[in-house]
């Protein structure tokens, strides 16, 4: 990923951090002025206390992303949280948009590289279950929400179909690049084994155990490999390359 794109993601992270800072300030103001702030509202599932904790975690996550802007799985986690939050509170449109963002971040972060189908099915089950909690508002309200949700999904599908060729070309251009290890004289055959395992989605703990090396030594060596091939970390490695040879 180019430095320009990394700077763009860093800008997004900084913007999110600033927004969440204002959210926490406003939340603190409400806690100070509203005696009923911590009481759960009618038909609410999440208490204000839980929401407050998650907002603090979001603030911390954006702070982390300011320094590690390519940690897409972190974006995925909080996009899912806000998707669930929207569905649980009776929403639909924002829930769909957050869900799509979560899927894209999961894809970019390599979340689906291993057991992708199972993870995707679980993803859909969790979102469906969170949406069905809207039945507490009544059948009519849930039906209207479902219709709105379906419209958003159909419009999204139409947009994808219209941009199908462009999206396909983008994916091919950005995700079929193989790392040519022969170009880097400092990378050994053992390093190649590590890299092959990482591209398959194997965790560091398993790689270390399979190769009779300590976890700390493996991580130190991988840091050196990242430097050699000019990527910031594992996340950028998986974004930039799909395999090695």
Q: What share of the chain is helix, strand, coil (3-state, %, to 5)?
A: 75, 0, 25
Choose one of 25, 53, 70: the last residue of a domain.
Answer: 70
- The CA-atom distances, in angstroms, between 240 and each of 70, 93, 191, 218 are 11, 32, 18, 21
Query: Residue 98 corresponds to which tokens in the numbers above?
Result: 């957050």
Confidence of residue 21 (pLDDT cuts 50, 70, 90): very high
CATH number of the domain at 233, please: 1.10.10
Query: What mean pLDDT, rounded, does the chain reach?
Result: 82
CB 234 within 8 A of CB 70: no
% of the chain beyond a pLDDT of 90: 3
User: Which residue is associated with the tokens 């590590």?
Assistant: 194
- 201 and 147, same structural domain? no
CB 237 within 8 A of CB 231: yes
- 146 and 214, same structural domain? no
3-state secondary structure (DSSP) of residue 179:
strand
- 200 and 147, same structural domain? no
Q: What is the pLDDT of residues 64-111, one digit of tens each?
A: 888 888 788 888 888 888 888 888 887 778 888 888 888 888 877 777
Average pLDDT, integer, range 171-196: 80
pLDDT of residue 18: 93
- 29 and 97, same structural domain? no
Neighbours of 47 (CB within 10 A): 13
Q: Tell me whether residue 178 is exposed, middle or buried, using C-beta atoms within 10 angstroms of its C-beta: 0 to 12, 13 to 18, 19 or more.
A: exposed
Confidence of residue 44 (pLDDT cuts 50, 70, 90): low
- 108 and 30, same structural domain? no
Query: Residue 213 corresponds to which tokens in the numbers above?
Result: 């090396």
**What residues are paired with 178 via a beta bridge?**
243
CA distance 113 to 141: 38
- 76 and 144, same structural domain? yes
Query: What is the domain count for the chain?
Result: 3
Q: Is residue 162 pLDDT above 60, yes or no?
A: yes
- 63 and 151, same structural domain? no
Backbone angles phi, psi at 186, to 5 degrees: -80, -15
- 1 and 54, same structural domain? yes
CB 235 within 8 A of CB 198: no
Average pLDDT, integer, range 18-36: 82
DSSP 65: H
- 154 and 87, same structural domain? yes
Task: Give the residue numbers spanning the domain of 193.
Answer: 177-244
| Low-confidence winner among 25-39, 73-87, 145-159, 168-182 (lowest mean pLDDT) | 168-182
């Amino acid at each position: 990923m180019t430095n320009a794109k990394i700077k763009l993601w860093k800008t997004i992270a900084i913007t999110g951090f600033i927004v969440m800072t204002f959210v926490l300030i406003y939340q603190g103001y409400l806690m100070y002025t509203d005696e009923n702030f911590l009481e759960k509202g009618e038909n609410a599932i999440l208490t204000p206390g839980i929401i407050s904790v998650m907002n603090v975690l979001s603030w911390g996550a954006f702070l982390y992303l300011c320094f590690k802007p390519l940690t897409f799985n972190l974006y995925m986690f909080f996009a899912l949280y806000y998707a669930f939050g929207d569905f649980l509170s009776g929403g639909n449109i924002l829930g769909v948009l957050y869900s799509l963002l979560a899927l894209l971040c999961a894809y970019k972060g390599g979340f689906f590289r291993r057991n992708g189908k199972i993870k995707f099915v679980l993803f859909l089950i969790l979102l469906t279950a969170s949406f069905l909690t809207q039945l507490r508002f009544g059948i009519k309200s849930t039906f209207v929400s479902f219709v709105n949700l379906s419209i958003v999904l159909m419009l999204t599908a139409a947009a994808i179909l219209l941009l199908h060729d462009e999206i396909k070309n983008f994916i091919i251009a950005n995700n079929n690049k193989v790392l040519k290890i022969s170009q880097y004289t400092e990378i050994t055959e053992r390093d190649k084994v590590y890299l092959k395992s990482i591209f398959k989605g194997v965790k560091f703990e398993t790689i270390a155990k399979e190769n009779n090396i300590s976890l700390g030594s493996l991580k130190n060596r991988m840091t050196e490999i990242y430097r050699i091939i000019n990527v910031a970390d594992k996340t950028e490695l998986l974004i930039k390359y799909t395999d090695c040879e």
